[in-house]
Structure 1
Amino acid sequence: MRADRLLSLLLALQSRGQMTARRLATELEVSVRTVYRDLEALGAAGVPVVASGGPGGGCRLLDGWRSPLLGISAEEATALLAVSAGGPLERIALGEALPQARLKLLASLPAASRDRTNAAAARFHIDTQAWFRSPELVPHLPALVEAVRQDRRLRITHDARDGHTTTRTVDPFGLVAKAGVWYLVARSARAPRAHRVSRIAAAELLPGIFTRPADFDLAGFWSRWTTEFEASLDRLPVTVRLTSAGLAALPEVLGDTTSAARATSDPEAGWHRLVLHFDSPLAACRRLLGFGPDAEVLEPAEVRQQLLDKARRTADRYGEAAI
């Protein structure tokens, strides 16, 4: 524990220059007396620490001395500092390591470029959360992180989309954050699969250690899994025609920014014809209702009829309310 504190003290002095013993004590959450003892320990270990009292005094390292903790360029440090600001790591235990990691990165740079690098990194911010969506509740995420880091088996209770609940013992291979949503990649009796962390109702670390396959690649698995998952969805083609206003609203209503480019237009009639894909007739109806009169389903007939029925029932409901 003291070794970690000594390293933190050294990094603070190296990255920030002169600091008072009281400020160091506050940051390290120790007493001022402990700070002075740690400074003596650093000096005994060969670190040139200088302490001066009175107004304007403080603790600092000898001018020009720098610990060779890392060999890293200013450009590399800027990139790492930028991507470590915010994001999914703040929601898990690894987020506690970020301030220390950033401090080490800054401490590894010469004093002349330290402030410039830190300022450059502050000009980039990565927001991984999707629009119009609050972060999902993931109360069991810390336990999953520990299991992944320690190769510990897990017993998880998972609530599926269809309402069924299952409990199984799994080998957790890794965690993936996609657009603000966490997934646990784990193996049970079958091949590895992804579990949405927000649907994990319970997670218990088991004493057993599993052997991770030497050839397992998390990024490669995720790429294959997402491709297969997307291919399993949106299998129902629905031919629609949209007004110009409907076509312009396509990204807002469906979040689809590519289908508009495939639309065929009839300038005289003012309509745009295209094929959209959905999970089911019900999903198609619910989403296409968002276009109002700016969309018309041409086929399949089942979707067209369901949409007509829902539109009539909606009109009847509002008609009743007006009476």
Structure 2
Amino acid sequence: MRADRLLSLLLCLQSRGQLTARQLAAELEVSVRTVYRDLEALGAAGVPVVTSGGPGGGCRLMDGWRSPLLGISAEEATALLAVSAGGPLERIALGDALAQARLKLLAALPASGRDDTRAAAGRFHIDSQAWFKPAEPTPALPVLVDAVRRDRCLRLTYAGRDGRTSERTVDPLGLVAKAGIWYLIAASDKGVRAHRAARITHATPLPETFTRPDGFDLTRFWERWTAEFEASLDQLRVTVRLSKAGLAALPAVLGDAEAGARATPDREEGYQLDLHFDDPQAACRRLLGFGPEAEVLGPPEVRELMADTARRTAARY
């Protein structure tokens, strides 16, 4: 632990310049006495630490000295700082590691360009959370992260969509965050599957470790799994006629900015478009958002369901 603290102290001085012992103690969450002991240890190791007392005094590294811990350009540092801030990893056990990594990146830059790089990185922000949806509570996430890092087998209690729970023993291969939702990729006697982390109500690390499958690549698995998952959904094709206003409302109602490009003009001064849904009920719920700007042409069961729902809605009002 002290080695980590000494490295943090060195990087803090290198990236932020002169700081008082109290400021360093607050940054490292240690006592002032510990800071002075650590400064002595750095000096003994050959790091030129300069301390001065009185007003305007503090602790700093000798002018012009820089640790050769890492070599990186300002452009590379800007890119890494931008993509590492505010993402999903900030909210799990790797958040502290990210903070240390950003500190190292800044410390590796010459003092003259450090402020410019920090300011440039601050002009980019990646928000991975979906609109109108709070982050899913995932109480088991810290346990999952630790098990993935250490190749520890897990005993999971998993709640299905119907509310029923089941238990399973898995080998946790990786974690994926998609639009603010975490998924555990795990192997079991049923093969490699993706499990929604929010549905894991309890996770118990087991003493056993596991050997990762030869050639397993998390990114390739996720790309294949998401393609298969998307192909398994939206099997019901529904043909609709949209007015110009309905066509313009497509992105807002269905959240698909590219669907309008598939629409073709028809003889009724509107546009025809084929859309895909899970089932008639899902189609009805979503298409009602167009109001009178959309007409279902087929299949008949969806058209009848839309008409019946519209009649019952009008009767209520």
TM range (shorter): over 0.9
Identity of aligned residues (%): 74
For 1:185-240, what per-residue CA distance to the aligned partner results, in whole angstroms no more than 9, with x for missing partners? 11111221111111112211111101111310000000000000000001110001
Corresponding residue for residue 301 of structure 1 = 300
Deviation at 1:75, TM superposition (A): 1.1
Corresponding residue for residue 313 of structure 2 = 314
Corresponding residue for residue 270 of structure 2 = 271
Equivalent residue of 1:93, what SS?
coil
Cα distance between partner residues in 2 of 1:164 and 1:305: 34
Deviation at 1:34, TM superposition (A): 1.5
Equivalent residue of 1:41, what SS?
helix
Aligned residue identity for 2:161: R
Name the stretch that deviates more: 307-316 or 72-81. 307-316
Deviation at 1:297, TM superposition (A): 0.7
Aligned residue identity for 1:130: A
1:146 aligns with 2:146: yes
For 1:145-180, what per-residue CA distance to the aligned partner results, in whole angstroms no more than 9, with x for missing partners? 011001011111222224442211111100001111
Cα distance between partner residues in 1 of 2:186 and 2:221: 11
- Structure 1: give runs of 5+ residues left out of the alignment: 319-323
Aligned residue identity for 2:64: G
Corresponding residue for residue 220 of structure 1 = 220
1:12-51 equivalences in 2 (<5 Å): 12-51=12-51
Cα distance between partner residues in 1 of 2:198 and 2:291: 33
Deviation at 1:270, TM superposition (A): 2.8
Deviation at 1:130, TM superposition (A): 1.1
TM-score, length-scaled by structure 2? 0.97
Aligned residue identity for 1:299: G
Corresponding residue for residue 260 of structure 1 = 260
1:209 aligns with 2:209: yes
- Structure 2: give runs of 5+ residues left out of the alignment: none
Q: CA RMSD in A?
A: 1.2
1:7 aligns with 2:7: yes
Corresponding residue for residue 289 of structure 2 = 290
Equivalent residue of 2:94, what SS?
helix
TM-score, length-scaled by structure 1? 0.95
Corresponding residue for residue 321 of structure 1 = none
1:174-253 equivalences in 2 (<5 Å): 174-253=174-253
Cα distance between partner residues in 2 of 1:259 and 1:21: 60
1:38-187 equivalences in 2 (<5 Å): 38-187=38-187
Cα distance between partner residues in 1 of 2:123 and 2:77: 14
Cα distance between partner residues in 2 of 1:135 and 1:270: 43
Cα distance between partner residues in 1 of 2:34 and 2:297: 77
